[in-house]
A and B are shown apart, each in its own frame.
Chain A
Amino acid sequence: MDFQLTQEQQELRQTVREFAERELLPKAKEVDEKAQIPASTWKKMADTGLMGLPFAEELGGAGADAISAALAVEEIARCCGSTALSYAAHVGLGSAPIAMFGNDQQKQQFLRPAAEGRYLGAFGLTEPHAGSDAGSTRTTAVREGNEWVINGAKMWITNAAEAGHLIVTAITNKDRGKRGISAIIIPQGTPGVHFGSPEHKMGLRGSNTHAITFDNVRVPAENLLGAEGDGFVQFLKVLDGGRISIGAMAIGLGVAAMEAAVSYARERQAFGHAIGSYQSISNMLADMDTELEAARLLILRAAWLKENGKPFTREAAIAKLYASEASERACRNAVQIFGGYGYSSEYPVERYYRDTRLLTIGEGTSEILRMVISRGLLGELA
């Protein structure tokens, strides 16, 4: 048992924290209001090596471990939720599948530019009729000569319209059920890919989310990721890693809310005393600290298992479930502590509350995660 971060992990975390405080925090309100992350932000993140943080140095990455990668997402989310979501989707969903399942050619062609931050990556799994039940995918890819011809639609795809490449899941053999789903890489600008307008969301508004339709989209046969029919198993593995990211993001938003609430509870006076001196308030702060600390331990353990090549599906599900719900409570109570001001956009806590609300939904709803976890306990029931 060793709860100490390594020197390297501490230094990476501190550097990302300083970067996020200087570059992301001052813009976070505007990013939310304008529903846009400035291109200069991505450029600066690329210059530091953040965009390819966990990928191999030979592929343009920084070669960091899974724990550092989770800490980086937490630090980014503490300063800007929207940037954290687009970043986590770029690394964990748009790029990681190529690092995990891609061949050398695909890694050079698609992972390298993404890891170097020359563009964002995106991953299209969810469909209008298939969210949690991703096995019900309807998008199809038919082999014609040396090409895949893709038709169908995707929904709620982070970074879609900006992405340099898009990894999509599609049925390549309808007779094989889940084993007939494959993942295919579609480069930006491929004819027949149509993006809907950016969704108007409750929170994380700076991170653009789109519906996509595929109308006879043709890509080379070699853009198949891994083996035909592996798509379902691949995305389950991808989502396991994605859950660590989303959990880390939840902690970052929760910590931001807690820090704002602590500072307000020290300053705001009521009945002649700082409101933090009343137990109703201080107990809320103590609960935030306790739950966020517990969430961080769960996330770091799941990341440690991932880094060490051990199974982590259950641990990632537990960590993401707990962290996202703890974060929601922390942000909810931060708004409560701020009172009327908390409900106003004058203070950032309403934004944290809106931002964190996604995290019990995206990359596995709390309900699906409870199902995953309880199935581990109960096994298959008759």
Chain B
Amino acid sequence: MHAVVCVKQVPEQNSVKITADKQINSDGINPIINLFDEYAIEEALQWAEKNDGQVTVISLGSDDATDSLKKALAMGANEAVLINDPALEHVDSQSAAKVVAAAIKKLDNVNIVFCGKQSTDDETGQFGPALARFLGWPQLTYVFKVHELSETSIVVDRALEDTLETVEASLPVVVTAVKDLNEPRYPSLLKIRKVSKQPIPTWSLGDLGLGGSDVAGNVQVADRVPPPARPSGEMISGNVQTQVSSLVQKLVENQIL
């Protein structure tokens, strides 16, 4: 079994600044592996361990993203690939999926791709489904449990808004992970040492048989502004009785009770 995990490096907190040209400036904020992708890595590792398979992690990003790939290697992934090209600097989700699909086709015999259900920075949630489309594979989104995974098929539970769904699909397949799919392991300190100096192969668009026009993108960000600040809380004064009745009244008014 050969599993690929798509890993995005994102800022740890959302306290990013928006620059004059509407881009996101995350300088000084610790970069981490996208939360949902950590679950994807752990799930791939667990099944690869059970099935004697191998795990390749792929990230599309700048050279800095090698930090996240090395962390995934130190967690136990076998190989890592960085896709880095100047034309990808402001790539949209759909084009990113197109590029990563090309990279997955370039790899040998991939049976399954795990992604997080969304990234915690852009939050489009489009990457996994778009990737499945470009690969022409079925997609299993919002997966919170993988029951079985063999060389040919997979059985998972999906957490939908009102329904929990158990689904079986044939491989190859794209799976997107929700939070709490598993408990991601910490990287091994021994492996951190080993991968620290290991070069990560980098593929450009050219390496994937693509050009700048393939990733031109259909989505332009017209504007970016910080969300309005939360209104400050209100202190309810008076004796306990007045406070309680006032609180209850407000809860009813706001349809919380």
Q: List A residues at the B interface (Cβ < 8 Å).
A: 6-8, 11-12, 15-16, 18-19, 44, 47-50, 53, 57, 61-64
Residues of chain B from 149 to 198 with CB closer than 8 A to chain A in the complex: 185-190, 192-193, 196-197
Chain A residues with Cβ under 8 A from B185's Cβ?
47
Chain A residues with Cβ under 8 A from B193's Cβ?
8, 12, 62-64
Known: A8-B192, A11-B70, A11-B192. A19 touches B186 (CB 8 A): yes
Identify which of A6, A44, A57 contacts B190 (C-beta below 8 A). A57
Chain B residues with Cβ under 8 A from A47's Cβ?
185-186, 188
Identify which of A6, A7, A44, A50 contacts B189 (C-beta below 8 A). A50
Among A11, A12, A62, residue most surrounded by chain B Cβ atoms (within 10 Å)? A11
Chain B residues with Cβ under 8 A from A44's Cβ?
186
Identify which of B67, B71, B189, B197 contacts A48 (C-beta below 8 A). B189
- B190 — nearest CB in chain A belongs to which residue? A62
Residues of chain B from 194 to 249 with CB closer than 8 A to chain A in the complex: 196-197
Q: What separation, in Å, do the CA atoms of A8 and B74 have in the docked complex? A: 12
Q: Number of contacts between A and B (CB, 8 Å)? A: 46
Q: What separation, in Å, do the CA atoms of A254 and B188 have in the docked complex? A: 27
- Are A8 and B197 in contact (CB-based, < 8 A)? yes
Whole-angstrom distance from the CB of B192 to the nearest CB of chain A?
Answer: 5
Chain B residues with Cβ under 8 A from A11's Cβ?
67, 70, 192, 196
- Are B186 and A62 in contact (CB-based, < 8 A)? no
Chain B residues with Cβ under 8 A from A62's Cβ?
188-190, 193
Q: What separation, in Å, do the CA atoms of A12 and B71 have in the docked complex? A: 10
Query: What size tier do the contact residues of chain B reach?
Result: 10 to 19
Chain B residues with Cβ under 8 A from A18's Cβ?
186
Chain B residues with Cβ under 8 A from A7's Cβ?
196-197
Known: A8-B197, A47-B185. A15 touches B190 (CB 8 A): no
Whole-angstrom distance from the CB of A239 to the nearest CB of chain B?
Answer: 25
Chain B residues with Cβ under 8 A from A49's Cβ?
188-190
- Are A48 and B196 in contact (CB-based, < 8 A)? no
- Are B197 and A15 in contact (CB-based, < 8 A)? no
Q: What separation, in Å, do the CA atoms of A53 and B192 have in the docked complex? A: 12
Whole-angstrom distance from the CB of A128 to the nearest CB of chain B?
Answer: 38
Q: What separation, in Å, do the CA atoms of A57 and B194 have in the docked complex? A: 11
Q: What separation, in Å, do the CA atoms of A77 and B185 have in the docked complex? A: 22
Q: What separation, in Å, do the CA atoms of A237 and B185 have in the docked complex? A: 36
Whole-angstrom distance from the CB of B138 to the nearest CB of chain A?
Answer: 34
- Are B186 and A12 in contact (CB-based, < 8 A)? no
- Are B70 and A48 in contact (CB-based, < 8 A)? no
Known: A8-B192, A8-B193, A8-B197. A15 touches B70 (CB 8 A): no
Among A8, A57, A64, residue most surrounded by chain B Cβ atoms (within 10 Å)? A8
Among A19, A47, A48, A63, residue most surrounded by chain B Cβ atoms (within 10 Å)? A48
Q: What separation, in Å, do the CA atoms of A15 and B70 have in the docked complex? A: 12
Whole-angstrom distance from the CB of A41 to the nearest CB of chain B?
Answer: 13
- B196 — nearest CB in chain A belongs to which residue? A8
- A8 — nearest CB in chain B belongs to which residue? B196
Q: What separation, in Å, do the CA atoms of A7 and B63 have in the docked complex? A: 14
Q: What separation, in Å, do the CA atoms of A18 and B74 have in the docked complex? A: 14
- B188 — nearest CB in chain A belongs to which residue? A49
Whole-angstrom distance from the CB of A274 to the nearest CB of chain B?
Answer: 17
Chain B residues with Cβ under 8 A from A15's Cβ?
71, 74, 186-187, 189, 192
Q: What separation, in Å, do the CA atoms of A50 and B70 have in the docked complex? A: 18
Q: Which 6 A-B pairs have the closest CB atoms?
A: A49-B189, A8-B196, A62-B190, A62-B189, A48-B186, A49-B190
